[in-house]
Amino acid sequence: MDVLGSLLDGFAVALTFENLLLALIGCFLGTVMGALPGLGPSNGVAILIPLAFTMGLGATPAMILLTSVYYGAMYGGRISSILLNIPGDEPALMTTLDGYPMAQQGRAGEALALSGIASFFGAFFATWGLVFLAPLLVKVALLFGPAEYFALFTLAFATLGGIASRNQAKAAFAAALGIGIAMIGVDGQTGVPRFTFGEVHLYDGIDFLVAIVGLFALSEVFIFLEHRASGAHKGADQVKIGKIIPSWSLIKYCTPTMIRTTILGFVAGVLPGAGASLGSFISYSVEKRLVDRKGTFGTGDPRGVAAPEAGNNAAAGGALVPMLALGVPGSGTTAVLLAVLLALNITPGPLLFTQNPDVVWGLIAALFIGNFMLLLMNIPMVSLFVRVLMVPPRYLMPIVAMVSFVGIYGISGSSFDLLVMVGFGVLGWVLRKLDVPLVPVILGVLLGAAMEKNLRRALTISDGDWSTLVASPLSITLWVIAIVGFILPIVIGPMIRRRMAIRRKDEEGATVD
Amino acid sequence: MKLTSVARATVLAAMLGLGAQAAYAFDPESPECIAPADPGGGWDFTCRQVGKSLQDLGLIPSTMQVVNLAGGGGGVAFAEVVNKRNDDNDLIVAASSATATRLAQNAYPGNSMDQVRWLATIGADYGVIAVSKDSEINTLPELLEMIKTDPSSISVAGGSAVGGWDHLKVLIAAQAYGIEDVRTVKYIAFDGGGEAVTQLLAGSVQAFTGDISEAKGFVDSGDIKVLAVLSPDRLPGEFDAFPTAREQGVEVIGANWRGFYAPGDMSDEAYDYWVEQIGAMYDSPEWLEVMQANGLAPLNLRGAEFQEFVAESVANITEISKQIGIIQ
Amino acid sequence: MSDRVFGGIGVVLAIFFIWQATLIQESFIQDAVGPKVFPVIIGTVLGLSSLYFVLKPDPEPSWPRFGGLAEIGFAALVMVIYAMALPELGFGISTAIAAAYITWRLETPPLKAIIAGVSISAGLYIVFRLILGLSLARGPLGF
């Protein structure tokens, strides 16, 4: 077959000693940067661009290095999510929900290994999707106009209920707070500043990384300080690491989840303007709706770890589809990769596959290689990662705090951002105390602006006719899913909870698996 | 390659530049370039590319340190340079048309273009106006006529915010065509040219305004039709096929230039040094390759000439922004 | 009680947000929706959800006693000073001091805390500046 022949040619390009070495370096650095709070895939790739240039790499090796960093960062983000409850980067946000509870139950090793496998699963099949479906999927991306994007974002928020909090009102509050924060800055549609109070630093809005690192990492440091003062701190010696290799039955148990979320994440990645965060988010919330009959999601359910990891890694692969086939970045990271391609005298776009087949297929082959490398690197390294938990908190927490500051300052060079981050740290501490979930806040910050923009684009195009929002079959479908996803838990939720309460009384001590 | 007047001026300047290279009254100790945005954007690339080229060509004594200072669409860096580093001789800052646009629209509160010294350009990306391949519209006047008769029938997509450069280009064209109230032109802002082109292909919008580098891939594949390039003359090489707006009777030129400014109190020796070094880099065959790779067209303005050019474009943008009501 | 106070603050915040939204200066160029509508909708959701906790509060969380609050307040203050001092003192010195402070407050003897602070600062400098090549704040001593 033609495609497979091209892929073999690609492997011939990628399988040189130099390229393999670059992939190894990229995977390693990417994993490290993904794990460090404040550095994620997009700035991780951007940081290494000068390295690629100073090494004088050609187009294919440079792309191999940088996409390995990209995939590595997608793998690495989960490590701090699981071990420290601090998402290493934005797509790893959802992994905190079940990953950290698993670690607290002494199953950190298992959670890390399982999430590594899920990451591999998602990325591996997404790369196959990229090979066979790219031309087809480009057409899907073209079905999404502003109205459809708005429906998609609404769907994401409508299915939010119940994630990470028992109190729906608090989840709604958190999401609204996040979206409100996203409104800060110069409004792209009219050019007027909003909620900036004349402060020029606020004109670009608040960077979501500042919000994530403040809300999660710094608030964690505050929690430790508080517990120390009240004398009730948890000692590091209580942390158990547990099994390093997940049992075969556990993997099998999670496989249906991984299959479903890989597909969902991949599709979300393909849509420019949706991206990996939305991929992992939708994967988690849809999976929770589908299989969480006992209400174990959020308390350390392994499927809750597998779902977002397979989803976000599949989305990373999906995001390469519009980048390579249309020249349109589907995420911040692919925007950076695109800039690199341009600088290397390669114009991504509809003709890339025919004009530069060696670059495209070499890159795809490199993705396969990088994936296997990451799996091989990550599974044995699990035992190394979990040692982080054995560092006493009195040393670990200052490191977490300082890494957060350096990560943010190193990218933006702005003291103002650091001040905002401290503000988010205090806010995060208060919200945690009050049992307000932090995840919806971040999702609001991440997706709020895009949601508003698409609403306004759609209505501007239609000259203010609101019926444009439900004018296509696709948008109607998305709205129906959103409404069902919003109403169903409100109606059925209490029913299930009642039935469960009865059952729990019947079979005391029943476990999940 | 045609020897245009620009190229001839380049050769002349190159000779002058080489002559001057022997002795400097100034040598930077630790050259630094501020990119007023996060890594990965256009300004970051300007700093890194130029820093690398300058070093490769031996034009600066040590590695150029690139510092990212994001915020306020470049306003934070501008304020930092004016307030804190006003006499720094080792410092240059990446700038582009966006910098001039924001200065013109008072988007850097309390700052103006004459607080810094403008060094030189390193090239430009000319604007294009395009439609999808299936569109019935074939020329720029046809498109503008449709906007004139029924503004709501045409949505124009671009990659910059309202009042930004992509938007202004269409408005200037509309004004040049004789559309009285350019505010009626329906402009939809997207996050970057790529997203805007996608929406053109998806059929959500009818026209696209952007830079030639953003449109190139889609032109090659035959997905979009370029109605006009906003350059003074037809561009060299493969871009030769695109008609200019001028030759269709619409007097509009839109160049998204890239270049540098330096602190306002930089010494004259240092200023001359930087102008000469950047100029010498511009004249090298290596830089020609970089320009081609990045889809940059020639635009070679140095020192006083560049200062004047920026002043002029700030004045122009102020004027049009006032007319459309972005500023009072 | 905490939830009621929190809900009250939320309502005030929502009102402030909506009030600020109505003050947004509109330019002459106007899209169909305008810059105010969406913030007003979000402000309303914020307000309604806050009202909900005023009416139906959750059980009281355990607030730290005064000592704990002071601890957090001081740590936040140190972080603020750190952020402001960073461009002046440079990365090395400010990071060492801030890291030493936090280590010390987490029950480490002062001398060990200082050693930890210096090592954290040096370690981060190596990773972020020397390996990743990020530009960190340069102080009078060059690091």
What pLDDT is attached to residue A499?
63
* Distance (Å) from the alpha carbon of C11 to chain B's nearest alpha carbon: 30
Task: Tell whether the torsion through CA atoms of A194, A195, A198 and A203 is positive or negative.
Answer: negative
Q: Is residue C17 part of a domain?
A: yes
CB–CB contact B65 C135 (8 Å)? yes
Task: Tell whether the torsion through CA atoms of B104, B109, B115 and B117 is positive or negative.
Answer: negative
Provide mean pLDDT across the span C50-73. 84
* Distance (Å) from the alpha carbon of B15 to chain C's nearest alpha carbon: 36
CB proximity under 8 Å: C 2-41 to A: 2-3, 6, 10, 17, 20-21, 24-27, 29-35, 38-39
Q: Indicate the pLDDT class of residue A239, thresholds 50, 70 and 90.
A: low
Query: Where does CATH 3.40.190.150 sit in chain B?
Result: 5-124+255-324
Q: Are residues C50 and C70 in the same domain?
A: no
CB–CB contact C106 A228 (8 Å)? yes
B4-48 pLDDT per residue, tens? 434 444 334 433 344 344 445 678 888 889 988 776 667 887 888
Give the residues across from A299 on adjacent strands: none
The minimal CB distance from A459 to the residues C32, C64, C76 is found for: C32
Would you list the domain boundaries of chain A?
A: 2-233+243-506
What pLDDT is attached to residue B40?
61
Residue of chain C minimizing CA distance to B32 = C135
One-letter-per-residue 3-state SS of A427-489: HHHHHHHCCCCCHHHHHHHHHHHHHHHHHHHHHHHCCCCHHHHHCCHHHHHHHHHHHHHHHHH
How many contacts does A have with C, using Cβ atoms within 8 A?
Answer: 207
d(CA B255, CA B100) in angstroms, rounded, equals 12
CB–CB contact B67 C28 (8 Å)? no
What pLDDT is attached to residue C142?
66
Residue of chain A minimizing CA distance to B152 = A463
Q: Indicate the pLDDT class of residue A18, thresholds 50, 70 and 90.
A: confident
CB–CB contact C28 B65 (8 Å)? no
Task: Tell whether the torsion through CA atoms of B159, B163, B167 and B168 is positive or negative.
Answer: negative
Q: Is residue C84 part of a domain?
A: yes
Element (H, E) at A416: helix A415-433
Domain containing C77 equals 66-131
CB–CB contact C28 B183 (8 Å)? yes
A144-195 pLDDT per residue, tens? 888 988 988 888 787 766 555 567 788 889 989 999 999 998 887 777 788 8
Q: Is C80 on the interface with A (CB under 8 A)?
A: yes
pLDDT at B294 over 80: no
Pairing of strands B186-189, B116-132: unpaired
Q: Are residues C89 and C118 in the same domain?
A: yes
Q: Give the residue from A45, A57, A414, A421 with the most B CB atoms within 10 Å of its CB, the best one to mutate.
A: A414
Q: Are residues C19 and C71 in the same domain?
A: no
d(CA B47, CA A157) in angstroms, rounded, equals 40
For chain B, which residues lie within 8 Å of any Cβ of chain C, measuring from their own Cβ? 65-68, 162-163, 183, 187, 324-326
B177-191 pLDDT per residue, tens? 988 888 888 898 887
The stretches of chain B forming alpha helices (DSSP H) are 5-20, 42-56, 75-84, 97-104, 140-149, 165-177, 193-202, 212-220, 268-283, 285-293, 303-324
Provide mean pLDDT across the span A233-255. 70
Q: Any residues with CB less than 8 A from the CB of A404 and at least 6 apart, and which?
A: A37, A38, A213, A214, A217, A218, A421
So what CATH class is B127-248?
Answer: alpha beta
Q: Are residues C76 and C39 in the same domain?
A: no
Q: Are residues C78 and C127 in the same domain?
A: yes
Chains in touch with B (≥3 Cβ pairs < 8 A): A, C
CATH fold of B5-124+255-324, please? D-Maltodextrin-Binding Protein; domain 2 (3.40.190)
Q: Any residues with CB less than 8 A from the CB of B289 and at least 6 apart, and which?
A: none
Q: Are residues C39 and C81 in the same domain?
A: no
Give the residues across from B210 on adjacent strands: B128
The minimal CB distance from B39 to the residues A47, A329, A460 is found for: A47
Checking phi first, is residue A482 left (phi over 0); if not, alpha (psi -120 to 50) or beta? alpha
For B133-165, the DSSP string reads TT-S--SHHHHHHHHHH-GGG-EEEESS-TTSH
CB proximity under 8 Å: C 27-46 to B: 27-29, 31
Q: Which amino acid is at A125?
A: F
d(CA C93, CA C95) in angstroms, rounded, equals 6
d(CA A80, CA A89) in angstroms, rounded, equals 9
Q: Which residues of chain A neighbour C25 with C-beta distances below 8 Å?
A: 192
Provide mean pLDDT across the span A383-392. 79
- Judged on CB neighbours under 10 Å (0-12, 13-18, 19+), C57 is middle
d(CA B141, CA B174) in angstroms, rounded, equals 9
* Distance (Å) from the alpha carbon of C46 to chain B's nearest alpha carbon: 27
B181-226 pLDDT per residue, tens? 888 888 988 877 778 888 888 888 999 998 887 787 788 788 899 9
SS3 content of chain C, % helix, strand, coil (to 5): 70, 0, 30
Residue of chain C minimizing CA distance to B326 = C27
What pLDDT is attached to residue A385?
80
d(CA B90, CA A258) in angstroms, rounded, equals 54
Of A270-284, A313-327, A359-373, C117-131, least confident by mean pLDDT is A270-284
Q: Which residues of chain C neighbour B326 with C-beta distances below 8 Å?
A: 27-29
What pLDDT is attached to residue B94?
93
* Distance (Å) from the alpha carbon of B293 to chain A's nearest alpha carbon: 4
Q: Distances in Å between the alpha carbon of B14 and those of B10, B25, B61, B309?
A: 6, 19, 20, 21
Considering its fold, how many domains does chain C have in total?
2
